[in-house]
């Protein structure tokens, strides 16, 4: 294996500049945007390096991999962990016990489990409902039409705090389609606010589409590749 001696500083600087520039172009306050560093498949040492540069919000997709990293990163106690992948019922307890955010809530059964499992000494788990905005059968998330029903259920669970909506836009979409999808998300958030008035979060935008997402109202962007480089998945 090759030793990784590359510093993450240049990529971190560039991503933060892209976010600030996109905010300014959209006449938005750059301070209203949160960068979630998506560290899936990358080692705890990479997280520690970004942490050393001031980054606190990290996103992870795979529960087991993430849990191991939390054990390895006991020296970074104020990391804010965002779960952005699917959560199987038998893994919900891990999320309830150690995550700060879940971006991918898409069913009431999982919501109830998390509500029951969230330890009393922790604040409510902050959740976003994932919308399958590309209406892609291979993608996760609920149909936009199902939002009101799920939102009402989640809003009634005291150990969860419904913060907003999340989506993954269509991967190969052109600018027009991207814009349509992100703009629709903003409209869905406005609707959600009639059920959950404090909902203020739009988690959307990744390495390839963060500018468009910010122009359309994203408040959290989830960036992996542009920070850490290409992911290599074990075969």
Ligand X SMILES: *Cc1c(COP(=O)(O)O)cnc(C)c1O
**Contact set for ligand X, span 161-200 (CB under 6 A):** 168
206 binds ligand X (CB under 6 A): yes
Diameter of the chain measured on Cα atoms: 53
Smallest distance from the beta carbon of 168 to ligand X, in angstroms? 5
Task: Annotate each residue in 57-76 with x if it binds ligand X (CB under 6 A) or - if it does not, as one string.
Answer: ----x---------------
Q: Is 155 exposed, middle or buried (0-12, 13-18, 19+ CB in 10 A)?
A: middle
Smallest distance from the beta carbon of 207 to ligand X, in angstroms? 3
Among 84, 169, 178, 214, binds ligand X (CB under 6 A): 84
**Cα–Cα distance between 179 and 47 in angstroms, integer?**
31
Instruction: Say if residues 235 and 44 touch (Cβ distance below 8 Å).
Output: no
Which of 117/207 has CB closer to ligand X?
207
150 by DSSP, 3-state: which? helix
Dihedral angle of Cα 80, 83, 89, 91, to the nearest 10 degrees = -60
Smallest distance from the beta carbon of 232 to ligand X, in angstroms? 12
**Contact set for ligand X, span 13-52 (CB under 6 A):** 38, 40
Instruction: Say if residues 129 and 142 touch (Cβ distance below 8 Å).
Output: yes
Q: How far is CA 216 from the centre of its chain?
A: 17
Helix (H), strand (E) counts: the chain? 9, 8
Query: How many positions of this chain bind ligand X (CB under 6 A)?
Result: 13
> Nearest-CB residue to ligand X?
224
202 binds ligand X (CB under 6 A): no
Site of tokens 């038998």:
90
Smallest distance from the beta carbon of 39 to ligand X, in angstroms? 9
141 binds ligand X (CB under 6 A): no
Smallest distance from the beta carbon of 63 to ligand X, in angstroms? 13
Site residues for ligand X per CB under 6 A: 38, 40, 61, 84, 168, 206-208, 222-226
């Amino acid at each position: 294996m090759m030793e990784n001696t590359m510093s993450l500083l240049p990529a971190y600087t560039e991503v933060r500049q892209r976010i600030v520039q996109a905010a300014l172009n959209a006449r938005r306050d750059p301070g209203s945007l949160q960068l979630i560093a998506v560290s899936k498949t990358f080692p705890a040492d990479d997280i520690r390096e970004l942490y050393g540069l001031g980054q606190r919000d990290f996103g992870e997709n795979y529960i087991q991999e993430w849990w191991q990293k939390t054990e390895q990163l006991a020296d970074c106690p104020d990391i804010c962990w965002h779960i952005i992948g699917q959560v199987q019922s038998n893994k919900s307890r891990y999320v309830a016990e150690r995550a700060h955010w879940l971006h991918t809530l898409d069913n009431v059964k999982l919501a109830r489990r998390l509500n029951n499992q969230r330890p009393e000494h922790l604040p409510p788990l902050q959740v976003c409902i994932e919308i399958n905005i590309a209406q892609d059968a291979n993608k996760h998330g609920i149909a936009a039409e199902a939002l009101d029903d799920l939102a009402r259920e989640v809003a009634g669970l005291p150990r969860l705090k419904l913060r907003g909506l999340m989506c993954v836009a269509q991967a190969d979409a052109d600018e027009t389609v991207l814009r349509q999808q992100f703009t629709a998300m903003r409209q869905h958030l406005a609707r959600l606010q009639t059920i959950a008035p404090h909902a203020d979060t739009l988690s959307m935008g990744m390495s390839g589409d963060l500018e468009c997402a910010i122009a359309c109202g994203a408040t959290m962007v989830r960036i992996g590749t542009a920070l850490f480089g290409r992911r290599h998945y074990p075969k």
